[in-house]
Amino acid sequence: MADAFPRLSADPLPAGTRIACRIEYNGSGYNGWQSQPHLDVTTVQQELERGLSSVAGAPVRVHCAGRTDTGVHGHCQIVHFDTPAQRPPKSWVLGANASMDPSVRVHWAVPVDEDFHARFSATARRYRYVIANALVRPALLPGQLSWQRRPLDAALMHAEAQALLGERDFSAFRAAACQSPTPMRNMHDISVTRRGQLVVIDLQANAFLHHMVRNIAGSLMAVGSGRQPAGWMAELMLERDRSRAAETAPPDGLYLVDVSYPAKFGLPATPYGPLILGD
C-alpha cells in the first residue's frame, strides 16, 4: 500500500542532482501537458515549471513520462529535472505547491541516478477512463467524468476489450495526427468494471498512440450500449481502419494513473486512483 503521508526530507540536495517527482493535476483548465510558448495558452508543464522555478530561484525545465492532451488529467504523472540550486525535497514539494494554482500538485520529490529519464526509463503506462453511466449528467465533478446516458453492459465491454491484448497493430484507434513511426503497441492488461453508476476502463501498455485510449473507450461504449454487436472490437483490430471505429470519447474522464519503472530507481509507490474511485 502506498504511503499517503510520505516523509519529505529536509536534507539539502546538491545543485545538479537529478530529481523525480509525482505530479497530480486537473487538466480541465489547461491546453494539455506540453509547453507551447508560441501560443497564448496555459499548459500543465508551464504551471509546474513556474512553481519549481520559484523554489530554485532559476529556470527549471522538466521532462515527463507521457504528454497528455487538453482536458486529460494526471493522477500519477512522473517528471524529472536537474536542479539548478541546492534545495531539500521538502522545499521542492511544499514550495512549488505554494506557488502554483491548486489544480496542479507535487506529491513527492526524490533524488534519482543520472541515468533515470521520466520518459525513456518507463516500462509501462496505465490509464483509467471513468464514465458516469446515468440518464442525467452529474452536476458534481464537472470535467472529471465522462458521461454516457445509455445503459452500458460492462461485462460485455470487458469481454470485447480482451481482443486488444498483446503486441498488436492499433491503427484502428490511432489519431490521424499521431506522430509515432509505428502503430504497434503492447497492451499488457485491459479491464472494464462497474462500480455503481461508474464504469471504469483500465488499460496498461508499454506506450500509447495519440488518442488511443479515448478511441478505444469510444468503441467499447458503442458495443456496451448496443450500438455495435459483440465481436466488433476484434473486427476493428483486423481491419486496422480508424474510419470504421467509433468516435473519439471526450477527454473528461481520462486519467494517467501510473507509470512503471525498473525497481532499481526506487520510486515511491502510488495507488492507481483517481481518488474518486477510492483505491
Annotation marks residue 69 as catalytic: yes
Indicate the residue type of 138.
P
Where would I find the H helices in the chain?
44-56, 89-99, 154-161, 212-224, 232-239
Q: Looking at the DSSP assignment, which residues form a beta bridge with residue 82? A: 18
Q: Say which residue the cell 545538479 belongs to.
A: 16
Q: How many CB atoms lie within 10 A of CB 30?
A: 25
Q: For residue 28, give the C-alpha cell.
A: 480541465
**β-pairing verdict for 124-133 and 166-169:** unpaired
Q: Which residue among the candidates 3, 40, 69, 279 is catalytic per the annotation? A: 69
Question: Quick one: which of 87, 77, 72, 82 has its CA closest to 107?
Answer: 77
**In the chain, what is the greatest distance between 2 CA atoms, to the nearest angstrom?**
59
Catalytic positions:
69
